[in-house]
A and B are shown apart, each in its own frame.
Chain A
Amino acid sequence: MFDLIKKFKKLFDNSSRDFAKSTCSNSPMSNNINSEDNLTVWEKVQIARHPNRPHGLDYINYIFSDFFELCGDRFNENDNAIIGGIAKLENQSIMVIVHEKGHDIETRIKHNFGMANPHGYKKACRLMEIASELKIPVLTLIDTSGAYPGIISEERGQGYVLAKCLELSSDLNVPNISVIIGEGGSGGAISLALSNVVLMLENSIYAIISPEGCSAILWKDQKYKEKAAEAQKLTAQDLYKYGMIDDIIPEPKGGAHQSKTATMDQVKKYIMHHVNKLIKEFKENPESIKRKRAVKFLNMGNATDA
């Protein structure tokens, strides 16, 4: 751990690059994706989970000129692990749905460490339906270790609600865009990431199971988590290579926690670019959005075949 801190420090000290200017002068679809990356996969996992990384609510407070929170699943509860509402992104009205992990003991408990119960995903479904009525795009920011495993969450149909969220996202007649800002943990992540455009921050991760879980199941011991992380190919760079995501958003040297505002500026720039593009397409041909999304996911991951 000490070595890791030293390494981060070194990276940070050496950083002289003007990060905000480094990419995407015209188009964020940059080619220089992470060429100087020298972190191990496990270090990336730790950066993705870093407590000082900008979280969902940080983005909400920073990138929108105004945000009005919409609460409750309209059945019986309001979940704080998923926060959502209507927001203004420059001149564009948008529906935003984020995972929030919390940053200290109190807020982590309030937000249940970013692990949502079924009522959280039901709220997300409700918000997507509203966006569809209002004909405004949906933005989701993903940062969760997974959907919450508990007795109540099973009683209220965690599996069903996640499936419904997937179905609704796939069927949405307005554009949607997702950014994996930290941890993209399994079903709890993909249920909000079935989008026209899926982006990942440079040091974020996206996987079917946590390295610890994978290690416990396949190696029968949690101590092989580093090996498991390597084997899982869960980094943004791997996922981009496999065609699972559309672009990678660069982070400041050493990780997003080194400069929250620089990271969020960058994320905003990418979101603006893609939202504008999608809106233009949506105006020209409203039907194509849903169809293209379905085609994209139906063919996903089959391109590497011989």
Chain B
Amino acid sequence: MNWLTSWIPKIRSERSESVPDDLWHKCNKCEEMIFRSHMVDNMWVCTICDHHERMRAHHRLVSFFGSESNFKTEIPPRLQDDPINFSDTVSYKSRLKKARAKCDMDDCFEIGVGKLEGNSVVALAMDFAFIGGSMGRALGNAIVHAAEISIRNKIPLVLFSSSGGARMQEGIFSLMQMARTTIAVKKVKDAGIPYISVLCDPTTGGVQASFAMLGTVTLAEPGALVGFAGKRVIQQTIGEELPKDFQSSEFQFKNGFVDKIVHRSKIALEINRIINILK
């Protein structure tokens, strides 16, 4: 061992301690490197190209309500995992365990009840980082729970969708969540309470084809992927190239399925406006 081999590990370990992995964030669109803290301050909107990055559920609620102290987290009744005992290359149970450890949450959502400048609302944010934000029994239950809070307290319901669709690992149980969530939001609307659906990147498959498209008012974040069938499936079926803005928020707006495309920094403001007009 010479002086060089004894020094290299030291240099390495010092570097890894002094430079945290997540100091920088690389924008998924313009690929510029941006200080992570700047991204957090800017609600995960790229400070250079204005691209709306996917946002973790907790960050979403904090930025929506303005601060951590402005809302209270609600936890729906917990269900047993893995209803059909599913296993592909890995078991669903171990997928869940891994996702829970990675994301530090129980499933792909967080519910917050709080105030937007005086107006109480219940908001549910979905988290794409947790198994693609996919809808299984847990999410179905969370939406039913959030809807119940909304009806009980007569406060508007806000759902931020970010999901690839239904959770295949729960088989038919995930399909039935389309029915459950549709009924849940319908009850809110029947009670004369506004339900505001915010389509975030991505809102596709079974989530788009159920509660996400049924808002009293439907908003969308700029540039989000919003559609029913996967692009690859469509391409394979029709065998031709898809238009450039296909299945974007802008595409949905153009075709009449979204009321307004709203920048992330203005979402709380716009929702508050809607509530004030309706109250």
Contacts and interface: CB of A to CB of B under 8 A. Distances in A.
B183 A294 contact: yes
Given A160-B257, A297-B180, A298-B184, A154 B229 contact: yes
A149 to B, nearest CB: 3
Interface string B157-175: 0000000001011111111
A39 interface: no
Contact of B180 (A163, A239, A298): A298
Most B C-beta atoms less than 10 A away, residue of A151, A154, A234, A306: A154
A239 B83 CA distance: 12
Nearest to A118: B228
A26 interface: no
B213 interface: yes
A153 to B, nearest CB: 7
Given A170-B179, A208-B172, 13 more contacts: A151-B238, A163-B212, A208-B174, A209-B166, A231-B84, A232-B172, A234-B171, A238-B172, A244-B176, A300-B179, A301-B137, A302-B141, A305-B79
A304 interface: yes
Given A156-B255, A159-B208, A232-B171, A190 B79 contact: no
A170 B171 CA distance: 21
B237 interface: yes
A157 interface: yes
Contacts of B211: 163
B243 A187 contact: no
A12 interface: no
B86 interface: yes
B94 to A, nearest CB: 13
Interface string B236-279: 01100011001100011001110000000000000000000000
A171 interface: yes
A218 B180 contact: no
Contacts of B166: 186, 208-209
Contacts of B176: 190, 244, 297, 300-301
Contacts of A162: 209-210, 228
A151 B246 CA distance: 8
B168 A154 contact: no
Contacts of B80: 304-306
A208 B243 contact: no
A207 interface: yes
Contacts of B169: 218
A150 B180 contact: no
B47 to A, nearest CB: 32
A233 B178 contact: no
B38 to A, nearest CB: 35
Interface residues of B, number: 56
Nearest to B235: A149
A233 B88 contact: no
Contacts of A224: 88
B234 interface: yes
A118 to B, nearest CB: 9
A214 interface: yes
B150 interface: no
Contacts of A160: 209, 213, 257
A217 interface: yes
Contact of B171 (A157, A207, A213): A207
Specify the main secondary structure of chain B where it touches its partner. Answer: helix
A205 B80 CA distance: 25
Interface string B201-214: 00011101111111
A166 B178 contact: yes
20 contacts: A149-B230, A151-B234, A151-B238, A153-B229, A154-B227, A157-B256, A159-B208, A162-B209, A163-B182, A166-B178, A187-B209, A190-B178, A208-B168, A228-B88, A232-B86, A233-B171, A244-B172, A297-B183, A301-B137, A304-B80
A301 B178 CA distance: 12
A13 interface: no
A294 B169 CA distance: 25
8 smallest CB-CB distances across A and B, nearest first, come from: A149-B229, A159-B228, A159-B208, A218-B88, A162-B209, A158-B228, A159-B209, A160-B213
A241 to B, nearest CB: 10
Nearest to A228: B88
A219 B183 contact: no
A281 interface: no
Nearest to A156: B255
B133 to A, nearest CB: 15
A246 B204 CA distance: 30
Interface string B44-88: 000000000000000000000000000000000001100110111
Nearest to A152: B238
Most B C-beta atoms less than 10 A away, residue of A149, A157, A164, A227: A149
B214 A167 contact: yes
A181 B214 CA distance: 29
Contacts of B141: 302
Interface string A226-251: 01100111100011001010000000
Contacts of B233: 149, 213
B2 interface: no
